[in-house]
Structure 1
């Protein structure tokens, strides 16, 4: 079950981007702060892995 399904009032498809991959998040609409911070942490780890892979591919690290 996705966060959109668990918290439909607080997590909606991103209105300005690809709706499959982007969310609009409204923490004041009943989204527990713990869930919000888990979402941020998970996305940060994805970005960190992609950046590390890019740096290795370009021999920058």
Structure 2
């Protein structure tokens, strides 16, 4: 169960998805690439802030201990 809650896997998957989206946009509509780069930059700022929040405010022990309440 701990494998599914690993945010590194989510980060890698999302990086791959963004790489595909941005490469398609640059290939098909290079005139709209700057707009997508702004969207990507905003997404990165949000992902960084949630990553910081996960480290500052970790989940309760009842979620990480693996036991029942």
TM-score range, shorter chain: 0.3 to 0.5
TM-score scaled by length of structure 2 = 0.42
**Which fold has the larger relative contact order, with Cα–Cα distance below 8 Å and residues 6 or more apart in sequence?**
1
TM-score scaled by length of structure 1 = 0.47
Normalized per residue, the structure richer in helix is 2
Normalized per residue, the structure richer in strand is 1
Larger Rg: 2
